[in-house]
Amino acid sequence: MSRKRVVVGVAGGIAAYKACSVVRQLAEAGHDVRVIPTESALKFVGAATFEALSGHKVHTGVFDEVPEVPHVRLGQEADLVVIAPTTADLLARAVAGRADDLLTATLLTARCPVLFAPAMHTEMWLHPATADNVATLRKRGAVVLEPASGRLTGADTGPGRLPEPEEITTFAQLLLERSDALPFDLSGVKMLVTAGGTREPLDPVRFLGNRSSGKQGYAVARVAAQRGAEVTLVAGNTAGLADPAGVHVEHIGSAAQLRDAVSKHAPDANVLVMAAAVADFRPAQVATTKLKKGGASEPSAIDLVRNDDVLAGAVRARADGQLPNMAAIVGFAAETGDATGDVLFHARAKLARKGCDLLVVNAVGEGRAFEVDSNDGWLLGADGTEAALEHGSKTLMASRIVDAIGALLHSGMH
C-alpha cells in the first residue's frame, strides 16, 4: 500500500496508553502518522512519547504553529483519521460539531474516512445519550467500532473496553484499502461463522489436521460484527488468534464438535458462513494410549472414515424447513487445478453439489490462502454470477464477502 497520511487522535481515558501501539503499527506499515491528543490525553501519556513514535511534533491547541493553519490543514490533507481511544465526551463533542481544540477542529475539516474506537465504562457506553451519538456519527458515514468486553478500570468488567491495537489498525488499514466506506448495515442480523482447522485424534498426542490458520473466518466475523451483526464464531484450531471484539466465540476441536456447534446455533441464525477447514476424514479407531514405534501398538495402516458434510447438512436442513430463519448460506472452497479442470471448473461443480447461495473460492498452494495474511479468489453465486476478489488483506476480502452477503439479504432472496 502506498504511503498515506493518517491522523491519530487520542482522547483522555485510561486506555490512552494503547494508542502508542496504534501509532507504532501504522508508522511501521509505512504511513505518515500525526498524533493529535487532547489536553486530558496528555495526563495519561506524555507528548514526548507520541513525538518519538510518530516523528512529528505534537500539539493540542489551535494557536500552535498558527502560520501553518494546522486546525484546517491536518484534516484537509489526511487520508484517514483514527480516534483511539474515543471517550464519551469526545463522541458528544464530535456530534455537536465543536471545534474548541485541535482534534475536534481537525474532525470538522476532514473529508476522509474517520474511525472511532470507543473506550469507556459500561454505564457510559450503554447510556441513551452515547447510543444516540454513535448512531448519529454512523449515519454521517463515520465508522464507530463496537468496543470489546472485559476488564475496565478497577474491578469493573463489561462492554466498553478499547479493542486491542491490532484490531484497530486492522480496520484502519481496511479503510485505506477500500475505495468506499464501511457501512453499518447488518443491525439485527444473526450470523454464524466457522473458522480454523479441525483436528481428528489418532491417539492422546497425535491428530490429523490441516494448514488452516482461521484468519479468513476471523476476518469475516470481525467485519460482520463491526457492521452491526450479532456474530457467533465457532473456532477450530486458530493458532492463538485473539477473539474479535463484539463476537461470541465458541472453541471446538474436531469435525464432530463443529457439526454439533453448528447444529446448536444454526436455527437462530440468519446467515451461516462456513469458512472452517473441516476434515473430510477421521481415524476409524482412536488409540487410548500413545502409539509407539516397534511395539505391539505400531500401526501398519490407519483406516479412515468420512466425517459428516456440515455445509451440505445445513443446506438440506434449510430445504427441509428446519432452519426457517436462514436467509443465506456461504461455503468456502480451497481448490487446485488438475488434469480434469482448473480451479474454477472444480469450484463450479462444488457449488452445484453443495447447493449453498454463495461459494468463496481460493486457489491454494505454497504461500497461498493458508497461513498467510493476504488472499484473493472468486465469489460464485447460485444464480450464476461470478466475481473476482482482488488480492489484498484477508480483512479486505472479508469485507467484500460481507458486501455480497448484505446484498443477498437486502434483495430478499429467500
Question: Whole-number mean pLDDT of the chain?
Answer: 91
Predicted model pTM = 0.89
In the annotation, is 210 catalytic? yes
Higher pLDDT, residue 389 or 363: 389
Comparing C-alpha atoms, which of 116, 102, 21 is closest to residue 125?
A: 116
* pLDDT range class, residue 305, cuts 50, 70, 90: very high
DSSP string, 377-409: EEEEETTS-EEEEEEEEHHHHHHHHHHHHHHHH
| Burial of 410: CB neighbours in 10 Å, binned 0-12, 13-18, 19+ | exposed
- Catalytic residue (one of 133, 210, 270, 375): 210
Q: Tell me the pLDDT tens digit for each residue of 224-267.
A: 999 999 999 999 998 788 899 999 999 999 999 999 999 999 99
* pLDDT range class, residue 414, cuts 50, 70, 90: very low
Confirm or deny that 350 is annotated as ligand binding.
yes
Confirm or deny that 290 is annotated as ligand binding.
yes
Contact (CB, 8 A) for 27 and 55: yes
Comparing C-alpha atoms, which of 377, 376, 380, 402 is closest to residue 391?
A: 376
Q: Please tell me the predicted confidence (pLDDT) of residue 293.
A: 87
Q: Please tell me the predicted confidence (pLDDT) of residue 157.
A: 81
Domains and CATH numbers, the chain: 5-177 (3.40.50.1950), 190-412 (3.40.50.10300)
Q: Please tell me the predicted confidence (pLDDT) of residue 334.
A: 78
All three cell numbers of 207, joined, read 491428530
If DSSP codes are grouped into helix, strand and coil, which group holds residue 365?
Answer: strand
State the CB neighbour count (10 A cutoff) for residue 295.
Answer: 9
In degrees and rounded to multiples of 5, residue 165 shows phi and psi of: -50, -40
All three cell numbers of 12, joined, read 483522555
Q: Which residues contact 320 (CB under 8 A, 6 or more apart)?
A: none
If DSSP codes are grouped into helix, strand and coil, which group holds residue 338?
Answer: strand
All three cell numbers of 76, joined, read 484537509
Confirm or deny that 332 is annotated as ligand binding.
yes
